[in-house]
A and B are shown apart, each in its own frame.
Chain A
Amino acid sequence: MIMNITAKKLTKSIAAGLLSSVLVFQGCGDYFDVGNNPNLVTEPSLNSLMASVTHRAGMNAYRYGNAVANYVQYIASPSQGSSSDIYEITNLSTTWSQAYYGMSDAHDMIVGAEESGADLHAGIGKLLTAYQLSLVADSWGTAPYTEAFNKVETFSPVYDSPEQLYASIGQLIDEAIAALNSTDATMPLDPALDVIHGGDVGAWIKTAYGLKARHLNKISKKSSYDPQAVLTALDNAYMSANDDMTMGVFSGNNPWAQIALDNLGALLGGWLSTNLVNHLNGETYGVIDPRVGKITDLTVNNDYVGTPNGGGNQGPLANTVHDQCYISTNCPLTSEVSPIYIMTYAELKFVEAEAALRAGLRSRAYVAYLAGIQATMNLLEVASGDAQNYIEEPSVSVGELGLTLNHIFKEKYVATYLNFEAWNDARRHDYGYQGFQMPEGAVLPTFIRRIAIPATEIVNNSANIPEQESLDTPLWWDMP
C-alpha cells in the first residue's frame, strides 16, 4: 500500500504533521507544567492532620518507653553485654527523628488551626508538641525547638538550652489549656480522627493539666520546685482511669504485644529484667505482689525469674526455653488489643502523693499513695481480694507517718511499667530503688543519665550539636 503513495505526497503530509506537532509543543506552555508532585496533598484538612498528630504522639510514647526500658530495668536483653543494657553509646536516630516528625505535623496543624480559629486543634497540637518535646529534652537535655520544624528557614536548627526547652514546654502547655478552653472554636474535633481522646475536649483539658503536673514535678531537685503548683495542676487533671491518655489504633498489633509475639517466634526480645521481676515476686520486698502474674506469665518452672541486665540468658537451657519471664500478651498493658498508655490516673496519683509529701501534706500524700496502688491494681486487672491483701501488707500500708518517698517511688515504678516517665523518676530518685543493681559489664561507673547525640545529628547538624558528655552526666533538672 505504502508503495502506491507517491513520495512527494507522503513527504508533504509528514512535514506538515511534524511542523504542527512541534508548534503544538512549543506553543502550549501548559505541556511542561507537570512539575507539581501529584502524590502530595498541599492542603490537608486539620482533622486528617489530627489523625497523624495523635497517632504519632502515641507511637512516640511507645518508642521512647522502649528506648529506655533497659535503663530502668524493666527489660533486659537475652544476649550478654547488649549495648543498651551496659550503657554503651547507641544510635537513637530514628527515635529522635520520629519525635520531630510528630512535632512538625503538630506545628503545621497549629499554624493551620490558628489561621482558621480552630482553637481545639491548636490546643491539642501544642499539648502534644509539649509532650514530645519533653521526651526529647528528658533524653538528650538540649535540642532544637525555636528553629525547628522549618519554622525558621534553616537546614540545621540551633539547639535550645535545657532551661529554654523547659520554659517552652511549660508555655506550650499553658497555651494549650487556654486554647482547649476556648468557647468559639471554629471547628469541632472528629472523634474518629482523634485517636487519643476520641474528640473529648474535657479529657484533653484534664490531660493538659496532668502533663503540667508531670512537668512541674520534674524539677523536684531544683530550688524552684513548687509542690503546691503540682497539686493545683492535679486538681484539674484525672479523676479516674476513664480519663487515661491512651492511643490504641494500630496497623497490626500493639507494638509491645508484637515484641512478645516475636519473642515466641524466636525473634528474641522483651525479656523482663531481674530487677523488675524481683521487685514483684517477693525477692526484694518479701511480699509477693499480685501484679507480677498480670504483668508476665509463669515460667516452665512455675516461677517468676528475670534476666540480669548485661547478663543475657542465664541458662542452663537454651534461650528459647521459657525459663525466664517475658513481656506477655496476657497483660492488660501489652496485649494485642491494649492501647499504649501515655499517662494514667494511677501515675498521677503517685505524682500527687510525691508532691503532697514534699509539701508536708502527709495525709493527702498517704491517701493518694494508696489510691495510686489501687489504681495500678485496677489497671492491671488484679482481683480486688488480691489487691486488698497486698495493700494491707504492713510494708505497704505504712501509715501516714511511715510514708517516705521510697515507698512512693517503689509503687510508682510498677505503675509506670514500660512508660518513659519511669526514667525521669529513676533519675529524680537517683535510682534509689531497693536492690537496683548496676548492669553486668557496664561501661559507665554509675547509672546512666542521658542519651548520646544521635548519629543523624552528628552528620547533618554538626555545627550546632553540643559536645558529647559522658552518659552518666546528669541533665539540667537532674541536679540541684
Chain B
Amino acid sequence: MRGIELKKLGGLMMALLWLLPAGYAQERTINGRVTDQQGQPLEGVTVTVQNEGGQTVSDDNGSYRITASKGNVLVFSLIGMASQEIAIGDRTTIDITLIAASETLDEVAVTAFGIKREERSLGYTAQAVTAEQLTVNQQPNVVNALQGKAAGIQIRNTGGAPGQGAKIQIRGINSLDPDRDNSPLFVIDGVIMDNSTSTQGESASIRGMSNRAVDINPNDIESMNILRGGAATALYGLRGSNGVVVITTKQGNAGDIRINYQGAVGIDEVNKFPKLQDVYTQGWNNIYDTNEFWPAFGPTVEEARAIDPTHPARLYNYLEDAYETGYQFKNTLSASGGSDRITFYSSLSQFKQQGIMPFTDFKNIQARLNTKVNVSDKFTISTNMNVANSGGDRGNAGRYNEQLAYWVPRWDVTHYQKEDGTMYMGFPGLSTNPIYVAKTNRFFDDVLRFIGNASLNYNPYEWLGFTYTFGVDTYRDNRQGTALGFRGLEDEIIVEDNGGEGATGRGFYNVYDTKYRTFNSTFLVNLSHQFTTDFGGSLRLGNELYDRSIYRSATEGWDLSVWNWFNLGNANQLDVATSREEYRLMGTFADLTLNFKDYLYLNATLRNDITSSLLKPNNSFYYPSASISYVMSDHLQLPAAISHARLRLSYAQIGKDALPYATSLGYTSYSALPTGITGFTRGALLGNPDLRPEFTNTFEAGLVLNMFDSRLRFDGNYYRSDSRDQILSAPISTTTGFSTASINVGDMRNAGIEITLGGTPVRNANFTWDTEFNFSANRNKVLSISGDRTDQIPVASEFGYLSSTVEMRVIPGKSYGTLYGRTYRRYYTAEEIAAGVDKSLELDEGRPLLIGDNGFPILAPAADVKQLGSVFPKWIGGWYNNFRYKDLTVSMLIDGQFGQSYYNQMDNFLAAFGMAEYTLNRNDHIVFEGVLADGSPNTQQVWLGQGYDEVTDRNYGNGYYRDYYRGNSEFFVQKASWVKLRSVSVNYKLPSSWFGTRFIKNASVGLTGNNLLVITDYNGYDPENSTTNSSSNAEGFAGMTYPALRSYLFTLNVGF
C-alpha cells in the first residue's frame, strides 16, 4: 500500500520537474573585486554560485574568479558583513562593495506565523539555526540536530535506539503537572506540527518510541528559528507557552533545475558501558554453585575451574556480548528550480538504521514538494507537502538490561536458542535469556503521515496585505506487538514475557491504531504606514484556528492456539478498547509595531483564546505583550570598537488552558471483566468543571553587541517567568475513589540567562575560523503547591533493592524534580534529635555516618527518605567551531549539561548481584568511617564478605553489598553532569577540475564522528539517556536505557 502511494508521489514530482523550463547552461568565467565601504579590499569573501555549489574565496586584493552561467546568481558572504546576491546577467566582471552586517537594515528574522521582521526591530530573541549548522552532524531527528546549537534549549537524547525519541525543552519546565507536555510548539511553514511521542501499546512507553518530528527530513530545512520568551511567542497564544520552533523548509529559485544527491553510511557502536567485575563467578557465600541463580557471589574463576573444568577460562562480559555493531544509511535526492512564475523544491529521502540491540531497527521514507506560484506581482500561492512513512522494530531496552543484570556471567548470553528455536537455558534456574526475549517479543510501529499547507498571499497595495494559510497534519500510526507462544515441546521453557493474563508464555498478538488529524487555519491582515520620515508603524490582525481529532483503538489478543500465527482469530482471549479526543482552539489577535527613527521600536500584542478544554465562561480569555528594541549604536555615539549595540526589553502574559477533558467526570469501562460482561467503574480523574485558565507573566531583557567589525558578537538575555494558579491533575488520596483531581493550584518560577558569543578569530583568503559559544542557565523554583492536599507531587519512581527505590517528586521551595531515596543514617546528638533536626528531608552529607553495634552503617527506615539530587541541569552549553581551509571544512561541536543527578538503576542491580566492578573489594576487611550512637568514633573492623569470617570470627549473613550497599539510594543517585565531543565532521570539496563532463557540477565527501567522547562521573551507560520516553517529564532516571551510540559516518554530496 504505502509503496504504491510513494511511487505515485514520486511520479508526480518527476512530471513536475519536466514541465518546468529547462535551464540554459552557458558557462563563463566571472571576475571581480570585493571591497568594504572604505574601498579597502576584503579578503576571504566566499563567492558561491547559488544552488550550483560552485565556490571560491577572494584573495588578499579582494579579487575573485569563478565559473558560472548567465542565469546564475552569485552570493557574496563574509562573517560580519551582510551577504549580497547578484544576478550575473550578461556581465563577466562584477565588482562589489560589502556592508558591515550591523549597519545593514535588512537582517531578517523569522518570527511568529513566519512573519519576517528586521532583526533590529525585535524586542525579544529569535535565534536562528541555519541549514548548514543543522545538518553538520547528520542527525536523522530534527530535535537531535538542534542539540548544542542554540542557547536556552535543553535537548536530551533518550537513547541510542534507531528512531528513538529526543526530548526538547526551552527555558525549563513550565508546568507543574507531570502529565503535561513541556516541549515547545513546532511550526513548519506556518502549520502547527505534532511532535508528541505516543506511548500507545503494551510496553511502548519503555520501547523508545519516536517523537514525531522524526517525520521531517533535516535536509529539507532552510532554517529553524527558536522563539523562547513570552513576547516572541505571544501571537501563538497558549500553544506557544513552552516556546516555539519555527521551521522554514527550502524553496526553489528561478533558474536551472538543480539536482542534488546526498548519501551517508555509518556504523554505530555503544559509546559507554557500565564496568563489570571479571573475577568472581557463580555461587553464594564464595561457594561455587551451578544450580543457583546467584550470578557472582561465588569463588574466583580460578577456584571454580579447579572444581568444574567446564567453567570457561574467563567470565563473559554479557553487556558487551549482548550489543552488536549497528549501521545506518541515508540517501536524499533533491531537485529545485523554476521560472519567474513557478518555483519548486522537491526531495525524496530514505533512511534505515539497524540498532546495536539485536532485533531493533527503524526506517524512514520521506518526500517533499514545495511550490510557489507567482500569479501576479501582488498575488502568490504556495503549497508545501511532506509525506513520510516511518517506523521500525522497537526493542524493550529496559527489560533487556534487567535480564542482563540477572545473567550469570559464566554462561554465554549469545547462546540463546536451541536447535528447535525455543529458548536455551544453561541450567534450570538461569535467568531468562534477554536476546531470546528480544527475538520473540517484538513491537513494531508504522506511521504514514502527511503535513501540508496552502498559503495565499495578496498584497493589493504597499500598505495592505492578506495572508491565508490552511494546513493539515495528519497521520495514522499502526502498531503491533507480537510474542511467540509456548509450543509444548519436550523440555521447552516457558518464557514469562511472552504471554498474557491467565496464559503465561502462551503468546500474544496486539494491534493498536491511532488516527491523528489537525486542521490549522490562519488569516492575517497586514497594514503599514510611514507617518513621517521618522515615524512609522504596522498593524497585524489575525485569526487562528486549531482543530485536533485523535482516535485510538487497541485490540490485545493472547493465548495463541497456533504458537507462531499472529492473527487475532488465533487468540483465545481478547481485550479491546477505543478512545477519542477532540480539541479545538481559536485565537484572535492584534499586533502593533511602531518605529521611530529606525532606532526605537515598540511592539504590542493582544490575543484572545477560546478553548474547548475549559467550560464557559472560563473558556475565553485575553492576554497582552509588549516589547521594545532600542538600537543604541544608531542613536548615540559609541566607541569605535562597537559596531552595533541594541537593548531589548519585553513583558508578556500567556494564558494556558487545561488538557482535554480535565473538566469531565464519569465512568469508564471496567476492564478486568472478561468479554461478555460489561461493567463500569469510576474514572481515575476527578474532573473539575470550574477550572480556570492559568497565566504566566514573563519579563525579559537582552543586549546585543557587535564589536571589532562584527568579528566578536555577543547576544545576552535575562528572563523571568512566573506562573500562577497552574492547572494540575494532582494525585490525591485514593480513599476518595479517584487517583487524581483537576485543580487550579500551584505557582512556579523560571529565571535564567542565555548568552551567545560568536567570533571570527581568523579570516583570510585560505583560512577562516568561526566559533560560537552558547550558554544558558535556568533556575526553576516551585513556589507553592497549595490547596487541600499535601505539598508534593510524586512524578515517577524506579525500583531499587532493599527499598532503595528512588522517586522523583515536585516539592515547593525546590526546583522541579527532586529525587528521593533511602540513605545511611547520619549521626545526630540527642539535643539535635529532640529539636527534630534529623527529620529534615535534606540529606546532611557533611555529617558522619552513624555506625551500628555490628560495625556497619545503618540503613534509615525505608519510609524515611531524603533528597538526593535535582534532575534538571544547572547550566547547559554548546561550543561550535568551523574551520575552513581552502576546500576543506572541519566542524566541531562540544556540548555539556551540568548539575543534574540521575538514578542509575542498572548500577543498583549490578551491585546487588556482585557484578559491578567496585564489588571486587567484597572480601576486604575495613573499618567504616563514622561514629557510634554515643558519639565516639567507630573502630570496629568488619568483613565485607558473605557468611562466616575467620579473622573477625563472625557470620556476616549476605554480606555488605547485599545487606547494606544495594539498599542505599545515595550510591545510585549519581552526579550526571557530562561534556561531550558531540561531533567532528570533515568535509572536502572535490576540485571541479576532476569532473571531465559538465554533468556533475560539484561534489564533496565528508567524514563525521558523533558522540566521540563523553566525560562524566556517572558510572552507567551514557547519562544523557533516559529510561522514560521523550514525552515524559520524569527526568531523573538513566539506568536501564538503550545505550547511546558512537557513530562514524561517511557522506557523499553530488550536485548535478
Are B456 and A14 neighbours in the complex by a CB distance under 8 Å?
A: yes
0/1 interface trace, chain A 121-156, chain B, CB 8 Å (1 if under):
000000000000000000000011000111000111
Stretch with Cβ within 8 A of A (4 or more), from B147-155, B610-618, B883-891, B1046-1054: B610-618
Are B458 and A44 neighbours in the complex by a CB distance under 8 Å?
A: no
Complex interface: chain B residues within 8 A of A455 (CB): 863
Q: Which of A156, A316, A318 contacts B429 (CB 8 A)?
A: A318
Are A49 and B679 neighbours in the complex by a CB distance under 8 Å?
A: yes
Are A457 and B733 neighbours in the complex by a CB distance under 8 Å?
A: yes
Q: How far does the Cβ of A298 sit from chain B's closest Cβ, in whole Å?
A: 19
**Docked pose: A219 CA to B466 CA in angstroms:** 82
Within 8 A of A (CB), among B582-638: 582-584, 586, 610-615, 619
**Docked pose: A319 CA to B682 CA in angstroms:** 42
Are A42 and B666 neighbours in the complex by a CB distance under 8 Å?
A: yes
Stretch with Cβ within 8 A of A (4 or more), from B373-381, B397-405, B997-1005: B373-381
Are A14 and B468 neighbours in the complex by a CB distance under 8 Å?
A: yes
Confirm or deny: A116 has a beta carbon within 8 angstroms of a beta carbon on chain B: no
Confirm or deny: A445 has a beta carbon within 8 angstroms of a beta carbon on chain B: no
Interface size on A, residues (CB 8 A): 93
Complex interface: chain A residues within 8 A of B501 (CB): 251-253, 258
**Docked pose: A258 CA to B501 CA in angstroms:** 8
Confirm or deny: A33 has a beta carbon within 8 angstroms of a beta carbon on chain B: yes
How many inter-chain contacts with C-beta < 8 Å in the A-B complex? 268
Q: Which of B502, B579, B679 contacts A253 (CB 8 A)?
A: B502
0/1 interface trace, chain A 259-303, chain B, CB 8 Å (1 if under):
001101111000000000000000000000000000000000000
Instruction: Given the known inter-chain contacts A105-B682, A156-B732, A458-B863, please indicate yes or no for A150 contacting B737, CB distance below 8 A.
Output: yes
Complex interface: chain B residues within 8 A of A31 (CB): 584
**Docked pose: A258 CA to B505 CA in angstroms:** 12
0/1 interface trace, chain B 820-863, chain A, CB 8 Å (1 if under):
00000000000000000000000000000000000000000111
Are A11 and B493 neighbours in the complex by a CB distance under 8 Å?
A: no
**Docked pose: A41 CA to B664 CA in angstroms:** 10
Confirm or deny: B667 has a beta carbon within 8 angstroms of a beta carbon on chain A: yes
Q: Which of B466, B661, B675, B679 contacts A51 (CB 8 A)?
A: B679
Are A52 and B673 neighbours in the complex by a CB distance under 8 Å?
A: yes
Confirm or deny: A378 has a beta carbon within 8 angstroms of a beta carbon on chain B: no
Complex interface: chain A residues within 8 A of B682 (CB): 101, 104-105, 108
Q: How far does the Cβ of A247 sit from chain B's closest Cβ, in whole Å?
A: 11
Complex interface: chain B residues within 8 A of A401 (CB): none
Q: How far does the Cβ of B481 sit from chain A's closest Cβ, in whole Å?
A: 17
Q: Which of B293, B584, B738 contacts A34 (CB 8 A)?
A: B584
Interface of B is mostly: loop
Confirm or deny: B668 has a beta carbon within 8 angstroms of a beta carbon on chain A: yes
Within 8 A of A (CB), among B569-590: 573, 575, 579-584, 586
Confirm or deny: B1006 has a beta carbon within 8 angstroms of a beta carbon on chain A: no
Confirm or deny: B899 has a beta carbon within 8 angstroms of a beta carbon on chain A: no
**Docked pose: A320 CA to B494 CA in angstroms:** 12
Q: How far does the Cβ of B523 sit from chain A's closest Cβ, in whole Å?
A: 5
**Docked pose: A100 CA to B733 CA in angstroms:** 10
Q: How far does the Cβ of A157 sit from chain B's closest Cβ, in whole Å?
A: 5
Instruction: Given the known inter-chain contacts A262-B504, A267-B496, please indicate yes or no for A463 contacting B611, CB distance below 8 A.
Output: no
Stretch with Cβ within 8 A of A (4 or more), from B110-118, B441-449, B786-794: B786-794
Are B794 and A459 neighbours in the complex by a CB distance under 8 Å?
A: yes
Are B500 and A41 neighbours in the complex by a CB distance under 8 Å?
A: no
Complex interface: chain A residues within 8 A of B661 (CB): 35-37, 39-40
Q: Which of B458, B611, B862 contacts A32 (CB 8 A)?
A: B611
Are B672 and A44 neighbours in the complex by a CB distance under 8 Å?
A: no
Confirm or deny: A343 has a beta carbon within 8 angstroms of a beta carbon on chain B: no
Q: In the complex, which residue of chain B has the Cβ closest to the Cβ of A252?
A: B502
Confirm or deny: A227 has a beta carbon within 8 angstroms of a beta carbon on chain B: no
Q: In the complex, which residue of chain A has the Cβ closest to the Cβ of B674?
A: A251
Are B496 and A461 neighbours in the complex by a CB distance under 8 Å?
A: no
Instruction: Given the known inter-chain contacts A7-B379, A55-B670, A100-B734, please indicate yes or no for A252 contacting B614, CB distance below 8 A.
Output: no
Complex interface: chain B residues within 8 A of A149 (CB): 735-737
Within 8 A of A (CB), among B494-553: 494-496, 500-505, 521, 523, 543, 545
Instruction: Given the known inter-chain contacts A89-B861, A103-B737, A261-B504, please indicate yes or no for A10 contacting B375, CB distance below 8 A.
Output: yes
Which of A88, A108, A318, A464 has the most chain B CB within a 10 Å cutoff? A318
A-B contact pairs, 29 of them (CB 8 A): A10-B458, A11-B466, A14-B456, A22-B543, A25-B586, A32-B619, A36-B664, A37-B664, A39-B668, A41-B668, A44-B667, A51-B678, A52-B673, A55-B673, A56-B670, A89-B863, A100-B735, A104-B682, A104-B738, A105-B682, A154-B736, A155-B736, A252-B500, A252-B501, A253-B502, A265-B504, A266-B494, A319-B293, A456-B734
If A22-B543, A100-B737 are given as contacts, then 5 extra A-B residue pairs at C-beta distance below 8 Å, sorted by A number, are A51-B678, A52-B681, A107-B737, A149-B736, A250-B502
Ranked nearest first, the 5 interchain pairs of A and B with the lowest CB-CB distance are A252-B502, A104-B737, A40-B666, A51-B679, A265-B494
Which A residues fall within an 8 A CB radius of B? 2-3, 5, 7, 10-11, 14-15, 18, 21-22, 25-26, 31-42, 44, 48-52, 55-56, 59, 80-81, 83, 88-89, 93, 96-97, 100-101, 103-105, 107-108, 143-144, 148-150, 154-157, 192-193, 195, 249-253, 258, 261-262, 264-267, 315-321, 336, 452, 455-464, 468
